[in-house]
Structure 1
């Protein structure tokens, strides 16, 4: 049967003629392709926009993290600089103290006045150096406080280590450390190997003699090597701990070095409680120089001045007033860090 369509005779002629165009538009495959391309382009543009936003977000986060890390590292660097200044100030003031002690003034007032002037000069140099780096770094000279001491020295390298009265066994200090702490610092001897005993039993000996135990350091020539043997506290014998093959060497008893090399077994007065006497034995069996600074702030500590030449003398051995330790305030400041503390300088003091 045939499909018969009846048109509405009363309709608009234009409507009658346009219906097939609408159907044709829907059926046109080229028109549908353009729509799909438009949608694809829209998706692509949207994806690119999202990608750009994500990249920008990542860059922003990285910038924040970098800035935060940089700020943290900057604070750490400035903290390190404050600690470094503290160490430099302790060492710098210590060098001033020792230099003025070695000048051997005849009164305590003179040595303290010269130490103060030296610290002022040091502070001026250190402050200017730091100021050039936008940093305030200051040693407060008005806060300086000194611990009384005496320096005992022998500077005649051709002389043996006997007392001023040429006694081979003698006492340098009685009751060192009576006020607490080790009581001595910077105890170093430079010896010539050729004049040392070649037997440990008869070796030149430095002793820290306590109330019940003693500590010994024996220095002798062991087959061409300057050798140090140590007895700690209640031990029965002195055993060799370090040696150096040189014609001359410095044995630093309080810093624990032999010939400038660390000697871990050389620990001043190990096993002996303060106070103790400091003595030399077999002093005729060693030749060279030495120096030690004694803390005399405690009433019980007594340097045996009769065994030394006095202040102003040029003969060896001799004693002179000294500064044992200096205490002072330091201040360090940058735009981000402020550091203020009190420190103490006693160079060569055993720990």
Structure 2
């Protein structure tokens, strides 16, 4: 598509017989913020480094603004790259670090001076040009690494877990600043992280990866509310899995018969056939828990295994009559239910998602 800044088509990276990246395809639109999210070893950093030109693909094609860059060296791609460890030169000042790439490109002294000042202003470090990296905090060093990339005026910004070395409080602050800066500059950004909170809060879309392959590409809301696979449901947030078999379909819904014989009605994300082994997924905050009997459909019964009080939030683990364990998280507006108490659970059909058991469909 002409408005795609990045097009990745069927890229593969083989190391011997192992496929570190296996037939990965996705696009990033102009001005979009997209995250590659997944556990360590899933192939997300290798994918990013292939786009940057640091790793040569075994198969597939990479285009930047329509231009085939698959086998071009990094300096020919007009990309900015922010490394996980910042990669700052310790003997250079902040200004010299920011200017480094511009000097390699042979820019004039006056041009470099103006660009460095502009970059330092954008990242909020005006007046810090004469300092050395060791005189800066972790967050300030991260800004310098970003400023060095921005000074090159890249068509696309690539970021490899740039916040992973910061403490949690600073990560939260920096990710907000990064997103605000990206939105203000309309900078096309591809961001690698293993932190689901980072990906969900910063991204327009997220590419979920596992074992070198793409599991799902979607907006954060869709990933959380309608995961395509058990892996996505389990990796993004906390999910309850109820095992059963499909019975009766219609109108986008399917019946789920649990081991106890209890029945649930749930949304079917993909078509399932009568008798298929399926999993019904529901988030803990969607589970209604009651110490008194509930009437109607989609009501299950069980007994509290564990009650946890967190002030504003109450968390419960409930052993259902089917043998499944269901987790519930509710705001503290009701009386606390103690351990070993019998409870009734309502899971509304529109809050339950059914997917085939792994190995089917």
TM-score (norm 1): 0.24
Structure with the higher fraction of residues in strand conformation: 2
Larger % of helix: which? Answer: 1
- TM-score under structure 2 length normalisation: 0.23
